[in-house]
């Protein structure tokens, strides 16, 4: 990643193709995690415990998306403030509306239609909480909420969009550097306390822990912090020098170690290291890693990442139903012909989408 002769690119304003490369890595990881659940899991057609455990790391793609979103959204807001002297919150939310909501509501409509015709069951509470982006705080009364359960990450992102722009306007760029770091550390401390106290579980029985916004928001805020630090030319120059080849590789090794060992405060280190790796490649796009991330194929996948995520969600639902049918066949010793018809109906429904 040696780019001493290359100028440091701005971290705000303009198109950053490196981020599309990171989006490609993120969505491919998520698709691997989702796609292999019905293949390599206990009830999968090619059940393999080791490969299945390894494929679970693909879910880290969600954390990569969080780091990218925090860094990019904050960078764009800072650039707008520089260019116009203020941040237009109305314009921001209009852009987010047309970027996020049409594909998202199309996905929910498809899932609701499939539920209505009896392909699988989705409760009204699941759909309503998904529409309101509160799916990560809704605990279905009956098992089987996986058809909308994976929408928790979009709920976290939407909560971030509602919170961060207003805080940046309130604090200003200079104070936001300290405020963002302080808020991120407070959330990390709350995560440790809540893991022991289980207040959320007490208030909402069956509520998940790792999908909640109050547990995961710091993954986006650290991306904001790096954007805030890089917005100052002198600090950006120091960051570029600091994130040299050995340091960047050391950060990558540290992330691997955190995932493998799960030390104390693992989620805090993970939330810090991912945007650190991202900005390291943004600041040094001529590096070997940067060039790989900016390959045309990677950039194309990255630009399609949100559409791929929504499409993958339908496929994920179909595979979960297929897995459920296989499990039911094994438990009830149903005839192979019944199982074949059940799996065929799932496959047909999936391909029709």
293-332 residue pLDDT tens: 999 999 999 999 988 887 776 655 555 555 555 555 555 5
Taking the C-alpha atoms of residue 106 and residue 272, their distance in angstroms, rounded to an integer, is 34
**Separation of alpha carbons 160 and 212, rounded Å:** 12
pLDDT tens string 24-83: 999 999 989 887 877 777 777 778 888 888 888 999 999 999 999 999 999 999 999 999
In whole angstroms, give the CA distance from residue 110 to residue 175.
44
Q: How far apart are CA 227 and CA 157, in angstroms?
A: 17
pLDDT surpasses 90 at 349: no
What does the pLDDT average to over 98-125?
A: 89
Residue 2 has pLDDT above 50, yes or no: no
DSSP 45: T
Q: Answer yes or no: are the C-beta atoms of 318 and 43 closer than 8 Å.
A: no
Alpha-carbon gap, residue 32 to 35, rounded angstroms: 5
Query: For position 19, what pLDDT does the model report?
Result: 96
Query: 124-155, pLDDT tens digit by residue?
Result: 899 999 999 999 999 876 655 678 888 999 99
| Separation of alpha carbons 24 and 30, rounded Å | 10
CA quadruple 37, 50, 269, 182: dihedral, nearest 10: 20
**CB within 8 A of 286, min separation 6: which ones?**
3, 6
The residue with tokens 């029985």 is 205
Q: What percent of the chain has pLDDT over 90?
A: 64
Selection from 276, 67, 34 nearest residue 157 by Cα: 67
pTM of the model: 0.85
Give the pLDDT band (50/70/90) at residue 345.
Answer: very low
Range with the largest mean pLDDT of 104-113, 133-142, 269-278, 312-321? 269-278
Structure tokens at 3: 């780019």
Pairwise CA distance, residues 17 & 33, whole Å: 25
Q: Look up residue 85 and give its two tokens.
A: 């002297």
Structure tokens at 158: 């939407």
Q: Is 212:178 a contact under the CB 8 Å cutoff?
A: no
């Amino acid at each position: 990643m040696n780019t001493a002769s290359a100028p440091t690119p701005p971290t705000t304003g303009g198109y950053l193709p490196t981020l599309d490369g990171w989006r490609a890595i993120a969505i491919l990881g998520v698709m691997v995690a989702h796609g292999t659940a019905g293949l390599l899991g206990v009830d999968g057609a090619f059940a393999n415990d080791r490969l299945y455990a390894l494929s679970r790391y693909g879910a880290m793609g969600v954390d990569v998306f969080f780091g990218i979103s925090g860094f990019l959204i904050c960078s764009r807001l800072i650039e707008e403030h520089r260019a116009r002297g203020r941040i237009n919150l109305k314009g921001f939310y209009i852009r987010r509306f047309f970027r996020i909501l049409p594909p998202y509501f199309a996905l929910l409509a498809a899932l609701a239609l499939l539920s209505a015709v009896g392909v699988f069951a989705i409760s009204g509470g699941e759909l309503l909480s998904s529409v309101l982006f509160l799916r990560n705080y809704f605990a279905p009364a009956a098992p089987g909420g996986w058809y909308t359960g994976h929408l928790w990450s979009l709920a976290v992102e939407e909560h971030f969009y509602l919170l961060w722009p207003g805080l940046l306007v309130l604090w200003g760029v200079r104070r936001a550097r300290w405020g963002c770091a302080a808020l991120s550390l407070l959330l990390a401390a709350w995560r440790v306390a809540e893991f022991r106290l289980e207040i959320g579980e007490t208030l909402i029985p069956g509520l998940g822990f790792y999908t909640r916004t109050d547990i995961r928001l710091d993954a986006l805020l650290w991306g904001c912090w790096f954007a805030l630090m890089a917005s100052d030319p002198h600090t950006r120059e120091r960051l570029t020098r600091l994130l040299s080849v050995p340091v960047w590789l050391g950060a990558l090794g540290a992330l691997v170690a955190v995932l493998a060992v799960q030390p104390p405060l693992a989620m805090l280190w993970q939330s810090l290291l991912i945007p650190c790796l991202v900005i390291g490649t943004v600041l040094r796009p001529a590096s070997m890693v940067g060039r790989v991330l900016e390959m045309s194929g990677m950039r194309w996948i990255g630009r399609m990442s949100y559409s791929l995520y929504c499409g993958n969600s339908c496929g994920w639902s179909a595979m979960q139903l297929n897995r459920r049918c296989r499990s039911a066949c094994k438990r009830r010793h149903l005839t192979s012909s019944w199982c074949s018809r059940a799996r065929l109906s799932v496959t047909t429904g999936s391909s029709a989408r």
